[in-house]
Amino acid sequence: MAPATVSDSVPIETAHEDMIHDAQLDYYGKRLATCSSDRTVKVFDVVEGEAQKTTSGHTLKGHTGPVWQVAWAHPKFGHILASCSYDGKVLIWKEQQGQGWTKVGEHTLHTASVNSVSWAPHELGAMLACASSDGKISVLTFKDDGSWNADIFNGHAIGCNAVSWAPAVIPGSLITPQSQSQPTVPSQGSAPNQSNSVKRFASAGCDNLVKIWGYREDSQSWVEEETLEGHTDWVRDVAWAPNIGLPRSYIATASQDKTVLIWTKENATAPWTKAALDPSSALASPVAGATMATAVANAPAGKFPDVVWRVSWSLAGNLLAVSCGDGKVTLWKENLKGTWECVSDMNS
Amino acid sequence: MGAQNINLLPPLVESGQFEQLVQSGQTISATTSPYDNSLAVFLSPTTVSGSNSNSDREEPVYFASYDVVPSSERRLFIADTQVIFSMFHGMLESAKSREPSWIQTPEALELMRKFSVDYVNFIKECWIHASQPMPRTDGPLQFSADHYRSLYSCFSLFVVLYLPEPGYEDAPVGEDLMEWLNIHFIEPSTEEGDHLSSLDRPWEDEEFWPYLKRVTLRGLTKASLFFFNTLLQHPSEDLQDLVRTIIPIVESQPRLQNFSAERDFAFASRKWKDKVKAIRIEMDRVPEESRFDDFENWWDSLSDIVGILEGRNPVIQRVCEELGADWKEVCSAWGIFVDSRLRRQDLVDVAAEVLEIMPADPTNLEDMIHSALFSGKPEQALRYASQLDAWLSAHFADVMEPLGLLETDENSESELSKRDEYVLSYAEYLHSDPTQWKITIAYMYSCGDIGRERGDEILVRVPLRLHPSEAPSTPEEAIAQAVKEVSEVCFNYQREAVRRTVCRIAAQTCVRQKDYGLAVSYCISAEDWVSLGRVIDSILDEYVHNGAAEFAKQASKIAPSVQELQSRTVSEAIFVHRLIFAVRYSQIHKYKLEQDFVSAASDIVTLLREEIAPKSWWPVLLCDSVELLQYGSTLLFASSDAAELLSKLEEISIRASQGSGDDYLSVLTRTIKGGGEKEALERLKVVRLALARYFARCTIGSDRHALST
């Protein structure tokens, strides 16, 4: 493996007036949405060739506080963005021909900062889950005319930090028969494999817990299905891995307790098992920065040098990017023995 | 496995300032890109207070790829070898329709050998191309000529050892190995030979004997005979005599290719060995004091050469060590001199013995791959190959599996076979270059369910407008072209669900661009009736927002789809119904523009009578009828038709008074700026008045009626 790779690229100048809290690429990876403490959301085209320079971006104004997260909807619903903010609001933005980006919706049911927004897999229709510091989780289900129904329920005491949807198709469901207890989406006549799809997501909270929520068609409500205990401090982020054809489900969680846990569920009925990423394995790197080496050496096994803020899966779900408070992004892969290895270390 | 370190350039933080960054409550965050193997990286605060102390600084977002994106000659290499890969898989695919044992038949092995030789030849060409000092129009080489040389030596060794010509699996391997060694590791150099041959007394040169030993070891008979002949001029008569005996023996060493039966070759080899033994006896007769010339002990050197010819293993090994040759040379010479009938299956033991004493160079991946192949450890070869180049391990594994060299069982953790594991990891590397999506998915789709899932994720994200600005065509044509391309690929790999998803997205994009014709045909193609309904609503909205003329123009584009749908048996009749309404309603406006009022009037009545028009559009149709009711010279409606209009008007009024006005009046309301239900009902009063007048005209001048009732 090549030792130090230098990634030489012309950075996109966002012209945000304050720190960026989140950046998300759209479905095609061709547009970048960023949000900042400057209370705006910006959208840029990421142009190929020209060393990924950009055309000037669009600025979306409407929030009255720092904007924490942005999320792109599936393109079959159009060019739609959701953003959430310290102001307690979730705004829905749509780009329309000739009109540019306009605010088409405002969700104001939360009473405190909304920390995370996440669109459901497109097979489930246009649905958005939101996590708030008021301890509640809300799920918006959009109708064709752009209006929505909102389900809102208590999620985590003290506050909810993040939400992430499960893949719409249960792993392994194409090969193994579906058990009747699975919450399923009634056939809507268009998407294939409807009977196999499931409305489910995970949430991360200030109660150190990760919870799994499933929708029950019979009672038309969200039910807490499982609680994952393992972190000893606030859970900062949760990311459910895309379905990569394995019978198994994966969830990655990042916490204030300086750990990243990978939760694995072998099949629909098996319990979740957890394993912590071990950053000390990254020491094998011959060129790991001195700061990394010292910091890791001082940290106990299975712990990162600092709070872990974000976890993000690659498209195929085989690579996990971990953003740690120590100024590094590390990339992790599961090896053939089922152990997680650090494969890359990205320095600022 | 050591982690790879990636540094961003230009640096976000100056060297040495890193601690300061962390202390100021900032860190880097990253988000993965679905487009390629890259991450968008940016600075973010770790303190939730959120305010930035130095807000004058730029807040950039970087893109960093964790794979080195293929460029220049590498792209060509990837694209061209994929052609061989596809043909190989075509063969494997057709094998499925035959007996399972077919893959082991000489016919199948011959084909596999052919494709593997194709890989070897192609790598060789790439190596030659990369070796040439020439201006590179597509940028500097991404991989050195030496890298391709390594691939060349590894792949050709693989063919020599594991894919012999069918029927020759049990033939001696020595000659093939030595040929491989002589092609890939040329020794001694031509320059040395040229230098020595230019000398009158070459044996006086210190390189003479090492050179002669090496050419003997390598079986380079022409060169060895040339220099043995020069020794006929050597001052020592003993040496001259010996050389005179040696020359015909070297000249007559049996070569496998000159024999039609191995038995004959073996017999000749034995006889030849006896002759070599005779030289040894003759050599031993030379007295000790005559074994030197003015420079060195010629006898010792000649003894080494005879030792090689005799096939004395310790001599070959020692000579190789002295000459700086490695284990490969010992193994190859073994197959020529020690055991000229060495079989492929016995090579493993020989290699083990040699490598024990002369190990492979652990710092040289190429050498490690060679040693694993010699040792009959294909899986180990794959591991080293994956470190040298993901291309090599993927294509090795791809051929190894049908040859039965790999376990086909899936790993219990990854659920992947060895082959799929290496092929997928190559495909992932290819994904770093999104423009190569067709090649990427070709490899992914060869890897079972997991590969298919990953391939689907890439296929659904193939950009539908690749270069809108560069393309000479219109955006609509660009989309159509892209969808067509993806659809073809979906068809080839039987990915119907992907095709439908792509059509749905394309339909949505077309609606945004008001290309309703294409949008409708994509919805039909995806059999997505819900979306079809939505597109039709968008078209009808054109009427509400932009008026009848624009609506008629847009709706005419979807007319061909109606015929297409009617020719199919579609269960979702409701959406077809709505589509028919939109088309026929636009037709009415077209008639009006063409002043064909008779047809316009008749169609309005048909749409209402046959309830093709949705209830919410009844008021709009009724309003449209006013102009026709008031048409001066002729009565356009039969009285029964006018009665139909009146009955619909009645229904609307009654239902509105019962509180269900919204069902009927929503569309008309939207056409009235700032209007509500009240204004809509006002508008309908005009219809009622027009109808009343019309009935009056009917009774007065029924003779002037245009239509027979």
Q: Per-10-residue mean pLDDT for chain B, 709 residues long?
A: 59 64 75 80 68 55 79 90 95 88 89 96 94 83 93 97 90 94 94 93 92 94 94 91 94 90 91 92 87 80 94 94 94 94 94 95 96 96 95 97 86 80 93 91 92 90 62 69 89 92 87 84 85 85 84 82 69 74 87 88 90 88 88 82 90 88 85 81 89 84 49
pLDDT of residue B91: 92
Give the end of a domain, one of B5, B31, B65.
Answer: B65
Beta bridge partners of A43: A33, A58
What residues contact residue B565 under an 8 Å CB cut-off, 6+ apart? B524, B576, B579
If pLDDT is split at 50, 70 and 90, which confidence band does A2 have? Answer: very low
A126 phi and psi, to 5 degrees? -80, 105
The answer, for A186 touching chain B at a CB cutoff of 8 Å, is no
CA distance A309 to chain B (A): 8
**What six digits make up the tokens of B508?**
């949505």
Distance (Å) of CA B513 to CA A95, A232, B434, B449: 12, 51, 25, 36
Interface test with A, best of B9, B23, B31 (most A CBs within 10 A): B31
The answer, for A2 touching chain B at a CB cutoff of 8 Å, is yes
Q: What is d(CA A156, CA A136) in angstroms, rounded to the nearest whole number?
A: 7
**What six digits make up the tokens of A109?**
């049911």
The tally of domains found in chain B comes to 4
Q: What is d(CA A254, CA A115) in angstroms, rounded to the nearest whole number?
A: 15
Listing DSSP states for B307-337 in one string gives HHHHT-HHHHHHHHHHHT--HHHHHHHIIII
Contact A79 B36 (CB under 8 A): no
Residue type, B58: E
Which residues 19-38 of A are in CB contact (within 8 Å) with B?
A: 19-25, 27-30, 32, 34, 36-37
Same domain, B79 and B201: no
Residue type, B337: F
Contact A324 B50 (CB under 8 A): no
ipTM above 0.85, yes or no: no
Same domain, B123 and B46: no
Same domain, B215 and B334: yes
What angle do the packed helices B378-388 and B365-374 form, to 10 degrees?
160
pLDDT of residue A299: 52
* Distance, first Cα to last Cα, chain A: 21
Q: Contact at 8 Å (CB) between B642 and B698?
A: yes
Sign of the four-CA dihedral A103, A105, A107, A108: positive
- Among left, alpha and beta (phi > 0; psi -120 to 50; other), residue B514 is left
Question: Residue B370: inside a domain, yes or no?
Answer: no
Contact B6 A346 (CB under 8 A): yes
Q: Please, how many CA atoms are within 13 Å of residue B105, restricted to the half-sphere of its CB?
A: 10
Least confident among A17-26, A240-249, B344-353: A240-249
- Among left, alpha and beta (phi > 0; psi -120 to 50; other), residue B224 is alpha
- Among left, alpha and beta (phi > 0; psi -120 to 50; other), residue B707 is beta
SS3 of B487, please?
helix
Percent of chain A at pLDDT exceeding 70: 78
Same domain, B189 and B337: yes
What order do you get walking across the sheet with A148-154 strand by strand?
A114-119, A127-132, A136-142, A148-154
The secondary element (H helix, E strand) that includes residue B152 is helix B145-162
Q: Where do runs of H (alpha helix) occur along B389-465?
A: 390-400, 418-430, 437-444, 448-459
Same domain, B256 and B317: yes
pLDDT of residue B10: 61
Residue type, A167: P
Question: Residue B162: inside a domain, yes or no?
Answer: yes
pLDDT of residue B370: 97
**What six digits make up the tokens of A16?**
């945000």
pLDDT of residue B270: 92
SS3 of B65, please?
strand
If pLDDT is split at 50, 70 and 90, which confidence band does A118 have? Answer: very high
Running DSSP on this structure, what letter comes out for residue B381? Answer: H
For residue A326, which residues of chain B lie inside 8 Å, CB to CB? 22, 27
Average pLDDT rounded to a whole number, residues A62-88: 94
The answer, for B550 touching chain A at a CB cutoff of 8 Å, is no
Q: Where do runs of H (alpha helix) occur along chain A?
A: 290-298
The owner of tokens 């008749």 is B602
What angle do the packed helices B618-629 and B661-671 form, to 10 degrees?
60
pLDDT of residue A298: 47
Q: What is d(CA B111, CA B685) in angstroms, rounded to the nearest whole number?
A: 84
Residue type, A131: A
Q: What is d(CA B398, CA B91) in angstroms, rounded to the nearest whole number?
A: 13
**What six digits make up the tokens of A181?**
């207890």
Contact B30 A36 (CB under 8 A): no
**∠ CA A206-A35-A126, rounded to 5°:** 75
* Distance, first Cα to last Cα, chain B: 91
Q: What is d(CA B25, CA B313) in angstroms, rounded to the nearest whole number?
A: 69
Give the end of a domain, one of B285, B317, B342.
Answer: B342
Residue A117 has pLDDT above 90, yes or no: yes
Report the C-alpha dihedral over residues B303, B304, B307, B313, rounded to 10 degrees: 150
Distance (Å) of CA B494 to CA A12, B484, B489: 39, 15, 8
What residues contact residue A273 under an 8 Å CB cut-off, 6+ apart? A263, A264, A265, A266
Residue A340 has pLDDT above 50, yes or no: yes
Question: Residue B265: inside a domain, yes or no?
Answer: yes
What residues contact residue B135 under an 8 Å CB cut-off, 6+ apart? none
Residue type, A297: A
Q: What is d(CA A330, CA A276) in angstroms, rounded to the nearest whole number?
A: 14
pLDDT of residue B252: 92
Strands A235-240 and A221-229, how do they pair?
unpaired
Specify the pTM.
0.81
Q: Longest Cα pair distance anywhere in chain B, in angstroms?
A: 150
Residue type, B65: S
pLDDT of residue B261: 87
Interface test with B, best of A38, A39, A175, A323 (most B CBs within 10 A): A323
Question: Residue B292: inside a domain, yes or no?
Answer: yes
Question: Residue B656: inside a domain, yes or no?
Answer: yes
* Long-range own/partner contacts, residues B100-104 (CB < 8 A, 24 or more apart): B103/B402, B104/B404
For residue B497, which residues of chain A lie inside 8 Å, CB to CB? 192-193
Report the C-alpha dihedral over residues B679, B682, B686, B688, rounded to 10 degrees: 130
Burial of residue B460 (CB within 10 Å: 0-12, 13-18, 19+) is: buried
**What six digits make up the tokens of A34?**
């960023």
- Residue numbers of the domain that contains B307: 174-342
**∠ CA B282-B283-B285, rounded to 5°:** 70
CA distance A129 to chain B (A): 19
Q: Contact at 8 Å (CB) between B420 and B400?
A: no
The answer, for A8 touching chain B at a CB cutoff of 8 Å, is yes
Same domain, B201 and B268: yes
CB atoms within 10 A of CB B70: 22
List the domain boundaries for chain A.
241-347
Q: Contact at 8 Å (CB) between B376 and B358?
A: no
Distance (Å) of CA B521 to CA A144, B482, B559: 20, 15, 10
For residue A330, which residues of chain B lie inside 8 Å, CB to CB? 3
Same domain, B178 and B280: yes
Q: Contact at 8 Å (CB) between B29 and B4?
A: no
Question: Residue B563: inside a domain, yes or no?
Answer: no
pLDDT of residue A336: 65
Instruction: List, for residues A151-179, the tens digit of each pLDDT value.
Output: 999 999 889 999 999 998 766 544 433 34
Higher-confidence residue of A54 and B90: namely B90
Q: Please, how many CA atoms are within 13 Å of residue B259, restricted to the half-sphere of its CB?
A: 16
- Among left, alpha and beta (phi > 0; psi -120 to 50; other), residue A189 is left
Q: What is d(CA A272, CA A266) in angstroms, rounded to the nearest whole number?
A: 8
The answer, for A299 touching chain B at a CB cutoff of 8 Å, is no
Same domain, B99 and B227: no
Contact A11 B10 (CB under 8 A): yes
Question: Residue B300: inside a domain, yes or no?
Answer: yes
Question: Residue B85: inside a domain, yes or no?
Answer: yes
What residues contact residue B267 under an 8 Å CB cut-off, 6+ apart? none
CA distance B51 to chain A (A): 7
